Chains A and B, each alone.
Chain A
Amino acid sequence: MQTTVSVAVDQSAHYVAKHWKCKWCDYQEGRWGGVELGIGYVSDDAYRFGRETGLDDKGFYLIGNANTHYQDEAANFWDLRVRNIGTDSRWLSAEGGQQGSYKFWLGYSEIPYFLTDTARSPYLADGSESLVLPTDWVPGNTTDVMQALRSSLQTLQLGSERTSYTLGTTLYSGYFGETYSLKFNRDYKNGMKAIGVAYGGSDAFTSLSVLLPTPIDYMTDQLEFDVAYSSPTWQIRMGYYGSFFKNGNGALSWQNPYADLQSNTGLGRRALVPDNEFHQLYFSGGYQFSSTMRVTWYSAAGVMLQDENFLPYTINPMLGGNALPAKSLQGKARTWTFNVNLFSRPRPTLTWKVNYAHNEQNNKTDRTIWDSVVTDALQSLVQRQNPRYSFRNRSAKATMRHRLDNNNKIMVGVDYGVNERDNQSVEKIKKRNVWVKWKYKLNTTFDAAVKLAKAQRDGDNYRPLSEIIEPENRLLRKYNLADKEGDAFSAVLSYRPLNRLNLGLNINYSDDDYADSLLGLSHADYYSYSLDAICTLTKSFSFSVFYTWERYTSKQAGSQIFSNPDWFSKNQDKIYILGVGVKHTSARQPIEWGIDYLYSSAIEKQVLSGDIQLTNESLPEANNSLQRLQLYANYQLRESLRIKLSAAYEKYVEDDYSVDGIEVDTYSQLLSLGYGANDYGVYVVSASIRYGF
């Protein structure tokens, strides 16, 4: 049973409050916080383990964390938070100013994203835009006859590190009580990734591919300025957002490892992602008509720009001699978003909301006829006009919430949307969705919710695009454009049978049918459930466990002979995750300790069927699993000093047929990077001291 307490704050209350002395109020003045210093040890080199932790190398590392705060009687303050100072995942955030008047903040963070350290390539990958082979390289028509290949391989690390700097300030209480904010963020992303390129061959079956170690040298600046005003009836925010991306490398050229085909240069070249900009103005707000009705809106207009100079059609002077029709794209796409909500509560038990949303991207880039040099050793005779993909999405939604009584609440919603696209197989799609949700709350120990939804998507006549050089099979329906019917169900249950025991159950199910898609994705469904239990055995001892099971299934069909479907695949991912935690903590004892265990396992399986030779042998299962066991203990030496100990073991195992046992020259037409799954098993132990002040 919930109650409502009326709060009638009048001026007399404030008068009374003036005489409150607050003598026991523990107003903080000066500095407080804590600094943690220590040392950790990683038992093995494990590149994938360092993906987020930054602990990819065997050996010792520094532990350094800090939380420090300051404030004075005039509400001047600063807060500083530092984490993982000794690893590649370090970050820092700081904030200061005078509370209620102004504040400034800054941030720094590093995020490693390590893929593999076992890639091998004959290319000298020094981070430059030009990849060269060893001077004694002997080209071969296929990888198995490249005589110097094995002897010239160099081991490479693929992955990247993102470094981010943030600076910002907010000024409160302008002349009208408005707030000004300015924020600047700079991101660097550096590293190396694998990029596949094709070379030579009269068609895809005879073309030759190479996976190239390609440098990443990105920089993105983001600038945002806004003004906000709020009062009990009005909230307004307007501002500017700009994003500026720069790539330190405009193109990648490489020496052809295969025996020269039609080229007399032996070089290939591809473009890398171009610099681009985005500018946006936005205006949002809310207005309270009465205590029962409110309107809110958001509108934004933006423009995406890109004008990087083009490369020539090919680096090979024997091919593609025509001049480019333009020096650069002068690419421009306008964006426009408008969203308005009308929210009303005509009765305390009844709430309505109506929403209209409009989202549009209008590509204004010029269209031109372009030649095509498919690879730097193969000229295509077909010309193409560059496409402009514009779209306009509009939707209207209405929802109703009705509290039937103190225990029951029902919600109903209907959505209707229209998506319009240019230059695509379906130009107009209508979407409908209806859902109902029931919530039941018995008391503070039991509540449940069930939601059912049904959706339908219908498009105009599907037509394969005629301007595509190799037209799609007329029976194919791209799944984002295809007609679809979907059902969804979800349930949440929370039960506390005892004061010290919380139980939870979550169930999710969704099912999408693409009945008219004879080729392509025809069906997708998803099932999952999660069980949670948290038990506080005693005031100082708690135990928690969760288990999640998920299954993704999809069915698709293809046609190898460009006709009716002749192969079918049922794809399934099953995922199992178990987490267990035990924790002991007590205000009366100086020691707290805990154990955490996590096990995650996934199985990917495809079952192929078909009526011709190539299609009836299913691929092997692909599996991966992650296990982690961690023990930790903290001992309070004295009020300001705490010793922290931790020991963890983490193991990752992956079986994936697409990389396992695939050497650089396993396939004669693919010079790969020869890396397998990055399995690991590492122990990490650490000891640190935290000093509080």
Chain B
Amino acid sequence: MLSRDLHVITVMLYPLMFSLIFLLSICSVAFSIALMSPIVLAVQNASSVSPVQAEYAISYTEKGADTCIKCHDEDNEVPILPIFKTKHGRGADRNTPFAALQCESCHGPGAAHAKQARKEGAKLSGSIIHFGVDSVTSVEQQNKQCLSCHENAAGAGWFGSQHESNDVACARCHQTHVAEDTVLVKDKQKTVCFTCHKRQRADIYKRSSHPLRFGSMACTACHDAHGSFAPSALIKATVNETCYTCHAEKRGPVLWPHAPVVEDCTLCHQAHGSNHAALLLHRAVFLCKQCHSPQGHPSLAPSQTALPDGTFRAFGKFLVGKNCLNCHSAIHGSNHPSGVKFLR
């Protein structure tokens, strides 16, 4: 916890920082428009290519995929034949890599790679575009290859998304050289997501959680990993709109709405998993009292005295069973003319 003084300074600096970054952003936009003419871009691109790379840049293999498969057969450390069981490997579709430059549609010109491999061994992926976590090819370049075809599927929300900002390569989640891409299979997808999202992995083993553990639901039921305009890359514009895709009964509008329900389900619920029933942030009797303390029973302390052996067991109906919801069960809002207190 930072000290109060430091906090005050931070708050004072905040508008200044925001203004500065906003100004710089505008400047960068202007710079982009003014200076990034095609000629400048051409010069920039040309200057980024080394003489060696330039030599290889247009050096495609003589035989295309046949050159690649000669080494990358089923016995190779990087087998590629299963790609013909995937959508990428359907040459009859003019949009696929195999309708164009085959392997080199994605991996770039491969003549140098093949030539060097014959001379020096197999570990020569640096001379082609190589995909994956351990790749020597930059994440940006890897993803650029994918986005050159998948610009609509991933492009609109991708730039600036959580995954793009954190340099997540497409190939970190997707496998293209296997018959079945794990992340696209509902009951297996979570194993891919959980390689990074450890908190969410822990959540599915808690007392209440969404049904991800045995694969009845996938992460993509709520999230768009390629980026969206909603918080946490949700599939709909807001948290509530996303929740309503499965829980439409909570939507309303109703005569007596409960204010936080209308606004944001996560004010009371922890979407991935919770140690409390119904994915609640806290045990309901404590959660309710974090917002309600009028005169009378809602202000009572939830103490052991109300348990069956306690001295004030008459108050147990406020504590056990569904506690506050033993009476106020229409907690998501009531459409009954007398439902002002969510009793009916």
Contact = CB atoms under 8 A, between A and B. Distances in A.
A342 interface: yes
Contacts of B65: 20, 22, 24-25
A296 B226 CA distance: 14
Nearest to B152: A230
Contacts of B283: 571, 604, 622, 658
B185 interface: yes
A134 interface: no
A558 B37 CA distance: 65
Interface in A353-378: 353-355, 357, 359, 361, 363, 365, 370-375
A222 B95 CA distance: 31
B18 to A, nearest CB: 4
B53 A6 contact: yes
Contacts of A670: 316-317, 320-321, 326
Nearest to B23: A398
A177 to B, nearest CB: 10
Interface string B265-301: 0010000000110000011001001111111110111
Given A25-B69, A271-B335, A617 B25 contact: no
Interface string A185-217: 001000000111110000111010101000000
Interface in A523-572: 528, 530, 532, 546, 548, 550, 552, 554, 556, 558-562, 567, 569, 571
Interface string A291-333: 1111011101000101010111110000010001000010111
Contacts, number: 560
B321 A386 contact: no
Contacts of B84: 25-28
A320 B341 CA distance: 16
Interface string A603-643: 01010101001111111101010100000000000000000
Chain B contact residues (Cβ within 8 angstroms of A): what range? 35 or more
Contacts of B317: 209, 667, 669-670
B242 to A, nearest CB: 12
A508 B199 contact: yes
Given A5-B127, A344-B32, A391-B262, 15 more contacts: A13-B101, A52-B213, A81-B185, A109-B216, A243-B248, A271-B339, A284-B156, A296-B229, A312-B337, A414-B17, A469-B340, A562-B295, A577-B205, A658-B321, A661-B308
Given A506-B198, A662-B320, A333 B252 contact: yes
Nearest to A449: B166
A337 B237 contact: yes
A472 B138 contact: no
Given A7-B109, A669-B317, A560 B301 contact: yes
Contacts of A27: 84, 89-91
A394 interface: no
Contact of A245 (B155, B249, B290): B249
B60 A16 contact: yes
Interface in A17-68: 17, 20-28, 32, 51-53, 67
Contact of B156 (A22, A93, A286): A286
Contact of A313 (B7, B155, B257, B337): B337
Interface stretch (A122-130, A147-155, A474-482): A474-482
Interface in B307-341: 307-308, 310, 312-323, 325-330, 332, 334-341
A610 B301 contact: yes
Nearest to A598: B205
B252 A306 contact: yes
A466 interface: no
A444 B134 contact: yes
Contacts of B246: 162, 187, 220
B43 interface: no
B253 A333 contact: yes
Q: Which of A384, A424, A571, A658: most chain B CB closer than 10 A?
A: A658
6 contacts: A21-B64, A22-B66, A205-B297, A312-B337, A343-B159, A571-B283
B36 interface: yes
Q: Which of A21, A71, A162, A559: most chain B CB closer than 10 A?
A: A71
B202 A659 contact: no
B167 to A, nearest CB: 8
Interface string A418-459: 000101100000001010000100001000010000101000
A2 B138 contact: yes
Q: Which of B24, B260, B305, B337: most chain A CB closer than 10 A?
A: B337
A487 interface: yes
A296 B341 contact: no
A235 interface: yes
B296 A479 contact: no
A682 B262 CA distance: 41
Contact of A6 (B28, B48, B91, B134): B48
B343 A270 contact: yes
Contacts of A343: 159-160
A194 B322 contact: yes
B29 interface: yes
Contacts of A483: none
B101 A9 contact: yes
B11 interface: yes
A230 B151 CA distance: 7
Contacts of B182: none
Nearest to A669: B317
Given A324-B337, A659-B320, A22 B91 contact: yes
A235 to B, nearest CB: 5
A255 B327 CA distance: 16
Contact of A374 (B199, B241, B341): B341
Top-4 shortest CB links A-B: A20-B64, A230-B152, A270-B344, A75-B92
Contact of A606 (B237, B302, B329): B302
Contacts of B267: 480
Interface string B1-32: 11000010011001001100110110011011
A470 B198 contact: no
B217 interface: yes
B136 A3 contact: yes
Given A6-B45, A352-B24, A479 B291 contact: yes
B66 A24 contact: yes
A91 B137 CA distance: 39
A571 B285 CA distance: 12
A271 B254 CA distance: 11
A171 to B, nearest CB: 14
Contact of A243 (B238, B245, B334): B245
Given A247-B249, A344-B29, A558-B301, A4 B293 contact: no
B151 A26 contact: no
A401 interface: yes
B131 interface: no
A681 interface: no
A381 interface: no
Contacts of A13: 58, 60, 101, 104, 109
A256 interface: no
Contact of A485 (B7, B139, B325): B7
Contacts of A361: 262-263
A178 B334 CA distance: 44
A273 interface: yes
B18 A414 contact: yes
Contacts of B138: 2-4
B343 A375 contact: yes
Contacts of B319: 658
B10 A196 contact: no
A83 interface: yes
Nearest to B31: A346
B34 to A, nearest CB: 10
Contacts of A693: none
A4 B130 CA distance: 10
A292 B292 CA distance: 52
Contacts of A195: 329
A331 B322 CA distance: 30
B33 interface: yes
Interface string A658-675: 110110001111101100
